[in-house]
Structure 1
């Protein structure tokens, strides 16, 4: 396992973060998966107030294993579709969601806390003031923005700097080798070329969700097979099929799989990154760990992303 640091958190954070969005219960398969992740050196879990019941499941397992102080919890709040309808990015919703998440998780703090969506019509000032109250109260160790544009993150951090507050220490948007034609879900943000350039310039960590693009590079999809409407809508483009062709070629050269190459692409950006993963069994977890240790050169990363025509020897 490899690790990263995020300002405000006094623990190293594994660069493969275990997602809990599909954690339905604590049956034997789920326990095996969680145990395998810990045994592999993983120590970070992604959850959210909006993931119905998942925080309680994670909290129960951590209490049972007595692991709370050894792990990093990333939770999120202020999602539009969570409780009252409509945009909820406001101090009241943030406070409500955070306090409920802490209770569900059975802890008095979360290491990382991100706003799950943005509402650009809301001024950043009251949002940063509210989050800083919870930082001061030590309910949160570091704050971040999930599905915010880099322009809004910069605006929020400039406000924080100008008012002697703590700014966002990380971002959590989609970053994958396959570039979405349109958002996979309403209100989500994917890191485009300008966003990646901004992250490279300031080295703000990016924690990527859907880093493997829903399995686009698994070999289960072809341009002719249009049966999966979501994949067709989001990822079926000529550019992405060329990216797929290149992952296949590089995978053959390195004797790995295309999906491992695609995940490695996310982990070898010129700025700190991690990937939120959702392995269904220990074999898929091992595949992700191999991706983490499969080093790509900057030239290979650029070639995979169609930014150069060949890899210099």
Structure 2
């Protein structure tokens, strides 16, 4: 499987990152089946978060790593400091709290990739970078990033880190997909636009995309007449996205692959380092993703898929 390198890690990161927002100890057999199959095809990176399944996602992953004795082979991407019912929590106290509990659940003394699950633009980046660097110096975190941070805030944080002689953000995890979001899927979420992608290309800044296949938009299940999923209608239903779907179908037929594999290849063939967070729950879904990750698209093909009138 193709990999990318993220500054701060001594291990490569697989271009397909296995999602775990449905992992729980109560379905541990399924967790083991998914993760064993994922690692068998060359994967090595698991995405989770302090808040997934009330913490049970991290618990299940921790149990699997303990049972397999493979912590040193696994890249863990986890996230913290998500807002709660009282509002934003991007502050040193919340970061320390969530990180400490994540480490305990996962049964590890370090996190490979630690991302702030949301941003709070009201908090100066200096406070955030200083807090994260304390955990880096203590060995609890290898690399830091932002999940749903704008490129402007990432740049501001890294400018401060450079000026203060500290470690900056070395990856970002927003939404990037061939289907362009009309609005945020969840409050506080960030989907990159053309200007954001240009920044990533200029900086060669790694992007780890969630909802990389637009939550199933390219599976064939959705059409303008199918209105049973209000969130999909709200976020992805547009004339431009239906045209992108049509073009992905056409290109897939030309290459002998499926439409959703073309959508995945779109994310993984950007002119900057990218990974796709996937939600494969069966060997068939995993094999489809593996094949999609091997497709090579040219810059002209990327532009044709994306840029519709």
Interval containing the TM-score (normalised by the shorter chain): over 0.9
Give the C-alpha shift of residue 27 in structure 1: 3.6
Q: Which moved more, 1:16-25 or 1:164-173?
A: 16-25
Give the C-alpha shift of residue 29 in structure 1: 3.0
Q: Secondary structure at the match of 2:78?
A: strand
Cα deviation code 1:217-243 (max 9, x no counterpart): 000011111121111000000110010
Aligned position for 1:280:
281
Matched, 1:165 2:166: yes
Cα distance between partner residues in 2 of 1:104 and 1:46:
14
Give the C-alpha shift of residue 160 in structure 1: 0.4
Give the C-alpha shift of residue 285 in structure 1: 0.5
Cα deviation code 1:70-124 (max 9, x no counterpart): 110011110002xx62110011111111111101111000000000000001100
Q: Secondary structure at the match of 1:218?
A: coil
Aligned position for 2:83:
80
Cα distance between partner residues in 2 of 1:223 and 1:210:
20
Kindly report the root-mean-square deviation, in angstroms, between the aligned alpha carbons of the 2 structures. Answer: 1.0
Q: Secondary structure at the match of 1:22?
A: coil
Aligned position for 2:156:
155
Cα deviation code 1:242-282 (max 9, x no counterpart): 10010010011011110000000000000000001110101
Aligned residues: 306
Matched, 1:49 2:50: yes
Cα distance between partner residues in 1 of 2:30 and 2:72:
24
Cα distance between partner residues in 2 of 1:172 and 1:78:
15
Cα distance between partner residues in 1 of 2:32 and 2:49:
20
TM, length-normalised to structure 1: 0.96
Aligned position for 1:13:
13
Question: Contact 2:31–2:60 at 8 Å: present in 1 too?
Answer: no
Give the C-alpha shift of residue 186 in structure 1: 0.6
Cα distance between partner residues in 2 of 1:89 and 1:35:
34
Matched, 1:252 2:253: yes
Matches within 5 A, 1:150-299: 150-299=151-300
Question: Contact 2:80–2:115 at 8 Å: present in 1 too?
Answer: yes
**Which runs of 5 or more structure 1 residues have no equivalent in the other structure?**
none
Matched, 1:63 2:66: yes
Aligned position for 1:304:
305
Give the C-alpha shift of residue 24 in structure 1: 2.8
Q: Secondary structure at the match of 2:218?
A: helix
Aligned position for 1:23:
23
